[in-house]
Amino acid sequence: MPAPDGGYRDWEAVYQDNVTWVYRTLYARVGNRADAEDLTAEVFLAALGPLRLSASAAEVRAYLRATARTVLAAHWRATLGREITLIEDLDVTAPDSEDAISTAPHRAAAALAALPDHYRQILELRFLQGRSIKDSAAELGISVANAKVLQHRALRLAAQANDTGKTREERL
């Protein structure tokens, strides 16, 4: 909780007062607990040096939101090869259920359903079943190099489909 003067008494207070909304914000964007936890930790580590304890609670939240935007952009750049930086405010009174605050599973299912079969299969093997690129290639009966290309193209196509809202038939 913020101190009576509007700042925070220590870093633990900054963390305790802000970790829930930072985590929920990131979880709503990435759709899985592991990535959201890692990204939340990155946000607080990145903010540790430059953030002043004397800053007001509103200034701290604004700084953490900007830091979360930067961390999320780096995550998407590494994952999809492009930045996605939109972070709007979430209602802090939202339900505690992670499923209630995230539409990511539904969006992911829709994106997979819109992909051609060979693209959908590689993404399902790699990201839903957690298989290595080598195991995924063997399952599909293709080379590792081909599996890497398929994965890259599938991620690009899914990102483009998300941007344009086109149906599978329109993209083919």
19 and 41 in contact (C-beta within 8 Å)? no
> CA–CA separation, 149 vs 143, rounded Å?
10
In the prediction, which pLDDT does 81 show? 62
In the prediction, which pLDDT does 42 show? 92
Residue 62 sits at the vertex; the CA angle it makes with 58 and 67, to the nearest 5 degrees, is 145
In the prediction, which pLDDT does 156 show? 83
In the prediction, which pLDDT does 109 show? 78
pLDDT along the chain (172 residues), means of 10: 67 91 90 89 88 86 91 82 51 45 68 87 83 89 91 83 54 43
